[in-house]
Amino acid sequence: MKEFTCIVCPRSCRVKVREEDGELAFDGHQCKRGETYAREEYTNPVRILTSTVALSHGPLPLLPVRTARPVPKGMLEKCMEEINSVVVEAPVRVGQVIVRDLASTGVDLVATRSIGRWSQGRC
Amino acid sequence: MNRVKYSMVVIGGGPAGLAAALEARELGCQDVLIVERDWELGGILQQCIHNGFGLHLLGEELTGGEYAQHFIDQLAQTDIEVMTDTMVIHLAPGLITAVNPQQGLLEIEAGAIVLAMGCRERTRGAISIPGTRPAGVMTAGTAQRLLNMEGLMPGKRIVILGSGDIGLIMARRLTLEGAKVEAVAELMPWSSGLTRNIVQCLDDFDIPLLLSHTVVAVHGSQRLEGVTLARVDDNFKPIAGSERHIPCDTLLLSVGLIPENELSQQAGVELDSTTGGPLVDQHLQTTVPGIFACGNVVHVHDLVDNVSLEAQRAAAGAVRWLKSEIARQKTIPVQAGEGVGYVVPQRISLPQPDEITLLFRVKRPMVGATAVVTDGEKQVASKKLPFARPAEMAELVLEKGSLEGCGEQLEVSVVERSDSR
Ligand code: SF4
């Protein structure tokens, strides 16, 4: 059995999920949306991953990035490994694809800010 | 000394300042200047690389940087002037003294001034944690800046005191970067962070949230070596015998934010002792005519969307003030009544030609509550609050004309009705 806090509305129901004869049984939710939420969290939880990659020739050493879409929760660690090996060169535009098909998830890693190239002083 | 002149000057180029400047320009103000002390615009959003911004205002879930970029890109399409690397060192009504490396000392005359300096974090000193003074004790926002902007890892074994959103976000971020977050301790019996952050930042990584707990000792001489946590009773006193020692090299503090109002006070702006920000009316005008304020410098918001909206109202107020369109025949106070921590605006200028948005926080979590605005015995407005939490700001709109014939003061109270559950 697993228990989840539903975050769909502020009521924050604790929804219990049990497997009974290959079927999922739900308990504790006060509306249908809670069941949908708990089913997804139980079977295939996904998250947007946000992080940073190393930036060269920029005014800052890092560029913030995100996955363009949510990725499976179980893949977060693999994604982080790949993210940690990336170096990108400034300038970068917000939304620019930094890594295609991050850790074979089928999801791209994109830049979440624009940043100029470092010239004299700051840019 | 250099002397320049603008119709409107916005102090601070974070989310509040950006939205205020854009709105002022949109409403026809010809010359608008933003003064920003950092080297770039965006304020604290630039270190908030996590997502969850903009859902209410822009209809999509953005990271802090993306949200800032949206406004920065809009600004680039306008003739709004921006001075970065510029520190305001003195503020008087209509006159700003600032300094920057290019121009040196600078006097800026301003028709209207919008304060948008934001807030800063409460520190260890502000909450008096006992124990030694080793390295490794810092605010959650400092750790966020080190990790997300400077590429420095604050530590390997972390304890977080306070369950504010920045602390929760940092618990996830540090875990993903390979640190071990041992626990988040919260003094109150409820979390001060959003439920979504508790689920996605703590539950996702099996990080324990210890409610009604605090740090009673800090150990280590050079570098932090551990902390002692203890459970607290209803009066927040540590309970003897409940202590436990947790080895760690870093203690992050996420224990609240303080509006940054040193400049406001120089200009003679009166502050609200509860919010720590200026007393404002519905136009976000402070007690000094021509000085307006918005965003976290007024009161600490939980959603940036509300900061931007408040900034737009402040800009609208400032533009109308410049055109002498704000009538202030009478000003009445808005009090925080039963169950309410504070209300912004704290005063209403009458007559009231438009609707007024009241923002307030409840004192404790409540289910099936109702917010009521009263004028003496008379109820002026009410709103159901099915699930009210101190962490989530509540809003109530007073319709146009609803204050006609209104008395000497308004009060906002929130009462829980057990039968409405
Ligand atoms: S189950 Fe329904 S009522 Fe309960 S928190 Fe989820 S959405 Fe809200």
ipTM: 0.92
Looking at the structure, tell me whether residues B133 and B214 fall in a common domain: yes
Looking at the structure, tell me whether residues B335 and B311 fall in a common domain: no
Query: Does the predicted model carry a pTM greater than 0.90?
Result: yes
d(CA A21, CA B324) in angstroms, rounded, equals: 74
pLDDT reading at A91 higher than 50? yes
Element of type H or E holding B127: helix B124-127
CA of B215 to the centre of ligand 1 (A): 34
d(CA B289, CA A118) in angstroms, rounded, equals: 42
Residue that is written with structure tokens 């800063």 in the block: B120
Which of B279, B311, B326 terminates a domain? The answer is: B326
CB contact under 8 A, B66 and A47: no
Which of B230, B255, B280 terminates a domain? The answer is: B255
The confidence score (pLDDT) of residue B131 equals 79
Span A69-74, average pLDDT: 96
Confidence of residue A122 (pLDDT cuts 50, 70, 90): low
Average pLDDT, whole number, for chain A? 93
Instruction: Output the ligand 1 site: residues, CB below 6 A.
Output: A 6, 8-9, 11-13, 29-31, 33-34
Q: How many Cβ atoms from other residues are within 10 Å of residue B335's Cβ?
A: 15
Looking at the structure, tell me whether residues B213 and B104 fall in a common domain: no
> Which residue of chain B comes nearest to A78, CA vs CA?
B176
Residue that is written with structure tokens 């940036």 in the block: B304
Range among B25-39, B182-196, B405-419 with highest mean pLDDT value: B25-39
Residue B339 belongs to domain spanning: 329-421
Whether residue A56 lies within 8 A of chain B, CB to CB, comes out as: no
Q: Is the dihedral of CA B1, B3, B8, B14 positive or negative?
A: negative
Give the CATH number of domain A50-111. 3.10.530.10
Confidence of residue B408 (pLDDT cuts 50, 70, 90): confident
Residue type, B111: G
Whether residue A122 lies within 8 A of chain B, CB to CB, comes out as: yes
Q: What angle do CA A55, A60, A62 make, to 5 degrees?
A: 40
Q: Where in chain A is the domain with CATH 3.10.530.10?
A: 50-111
Pick the atom of ligand 1 nearest to A12's CA. 5
Which of B239, B255, B271 terminates a domain? The answer is: B255
Summarize pLDDT for B88-135 with one digit per residue, the tens.
999 999 999 999 999 999 999 999 999 999 999 998 776 778 778 899
B23: CATH: 3.50.50.60
The confidence score (pLDDT) of residue A121 equals 54
Looking at the structure, tell me whether residues B281 and B292 fall in a common domain: yes
Listed residue (B26, B112, B108) closest to B75, CA to CA: B26
Whether residue A31 lies within 8 A of chain B, CB to CB, comes out as: no
Looking at the structure, tell me whether residues B134 and B237 fall in a common domain: yes
Range with lowest mean pLDDT among A4-18, A51-65, B308-322 = A4-18
CA–CA distances in Å: residue B197 to residues A63, B43, B99, B201, B306: 23, 22, 40, 5, 18
Range with lowest mean pLDDT among B62-66, B81-85, B260-264, B350-354 = B350-354
